[in-house]
Amino acid sequence: MDVKTCCLGLLCFRDACGYDLKKEFERLFKHFYPAGCGSIYPALANLAEQGLISCQEVPQDGRPDRKVYRITEAGRKSFKAALANASPQHKLRSEFLAMVYFADLMCPDQLKRLLEERRLDLLDAVTNIAQIERSWGPDTPAGARFVAGFGSAMARTAADYIAANQNLLLDRQKASVPSDDTTSGKLSAKLEQRA
């Protein structure tokens, strides 16, 4: 399941130009499957070449022609086959966690900033997803809702974990065991202030 296949999938729902897809990738998809111009445009060109999507150029004034892509029957079939064969990987590459692993070798100030910035980023992600969810009508597919909720839950847990356990890294004298207390909810309180 590469960017190309994701584009094909999005085109199953509605016609779109490359820019539209780019926006889609920058909205919800960025939380679990980021992609930029450099991946999307070549992907569309390739899909069109294979006959999986068709293209209609809409002239515009003051801008490049808008190339509106539409999935073909072959494309729809190909996407369903891809879905059936895809291996459902879930890969995390976190330089943040790698850095934290080496916390003992970092200066405390930097470490503190690192944790705080990440926590705020996570809270931003929650707010961002909530905003996306609010923009949805009743016709929004269940898959989108599920994925959004998933991302939101993950980000909240991560933010709470950092808040609850940063002392483990910051207070270097006492060694304690990480807390699992993500049930308190108190720690997400900042959420309401930011939302």
Partner DNA sequence: CATTACATGTAAAAGGTTACATGATTCG
Partner DNA sequence: CGAATCATGTAACCTTTTACATGTAATG
Q: Which residues of the chain form contacts with DNA (CB under 7 A)? A: 2-4, 17-20, 22-23, 34-39, 41-42, 44-45, 60-67, 91
Look-up of token digits 């930097």: 110
Residue 179 binds which of DNA, a second copy, none (CB < 5-8 A, kind-dependent): a second copy
d(CA 51, CA 53): 5
Residue 64 binds which of a second copy, DNA, none (CB < 5-8 A, kind-dependent): DNA
Measured from the CB atom, the residue of 12 and 55 that comes closer to a second copy is: 12
- Nearest distance, CB of residue 112 and DNA, angstroms: 25
- Nearest distance, CB of residue 48 and a second copy, angstroms: 20
d(CA 103, CA 169): 7
- Nearest distance, CB of residue 6 and DNA, angstroms: 8
Measured from the CB atom, the residue of 94 and 167 that comes closer to DNA is: 94
Q: Which residues pair with 57 in a beta bridge?
A: 67
Measured from the CB atom, the residue of 41 and 144 that comes closer to DNA is: 41
- Nearest distance, CB of residue 60 and a second copy, angstroms: 30
160-166: long-range contacts at Cβ-Cβ below 8 A with a sequence spacing of 24 or more?
160/184, 160/187, 160/188, 162/115, 162/118, 162/119, 162/122, 163/119, 163/187, 166/112, 166/115
CA-based radius of gyration for the chain: 21
Asked whether 25 and 35 are in contact (CB, 8 A), the reply is yes
Residue 81 binds which of DNA, a second copy, none (CB < 5-8 A, kind-dependent): none
d(CA 13, CA 56): 17
Measured from the CB atom, the residue of 61 and 109 that comes closer to a second copy is: 109
d(CA 160, CA 126): 12
Measured from the CB atom, the residue of 41 and 96 that comes closer to a second copy is: 96
Residue 47 binds which of a second copy, DNA, none (CB < 5-8 A, kind-dependent): none
164: closest CA among 149, 150, 151, 177? 177
Residue 85 binds which of DNA, a second copy, none (CB < 5-8 A, kind-dependent): none
